[in-house]
């Protein structure tokens, strides 16, 4: 039996992120932010370097394992 929690889908993450933006910024500011970021080109390599600076495959794997363990206990 597999007791590993499923990772959230991309669509679920997008919905949650939009909800948080609206809650924190209000609908007008959230709409402006989403409109501007959606149409601007993104340098995904630069974004990856910013998000995962100093990380290795092993350290990321350990973080995923830790996250899964937390999900099982909640």
Q: What is the pLDDT of residues 23-44, one digit of tens each?
A: 999 999 999 998 888 777 878 8
Residues above pLDDT 70, as percent of the chain: 95
What's the rounded Cα separation, in Å, for the pair 27 and 41? 23
pLDDT at 1 over 60: no
> CA distances (Å), 16 to each of 21, 22, 23, 62, 67, in order?
9, 10, 10, 24, 18
What pLDDT is stored for residue 48 in this prediction? 85
């Amino acid at each position: 039996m597999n007791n590993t929690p499923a990772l959230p889908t991309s669509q679920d993450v997008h919905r949650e992120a939009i909800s948080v933006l609206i809650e924190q910024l209000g609908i007008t500011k959230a709409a402006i932010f989403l409109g501007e970021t959606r149409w601007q080109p993104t340098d995904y390599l630069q974004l990856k370097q910013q998000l995962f600076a100093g990380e290795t495959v092993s350290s990321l794997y350990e973080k995923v394992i830790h996250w899964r363990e937390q999900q099982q206990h909640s």
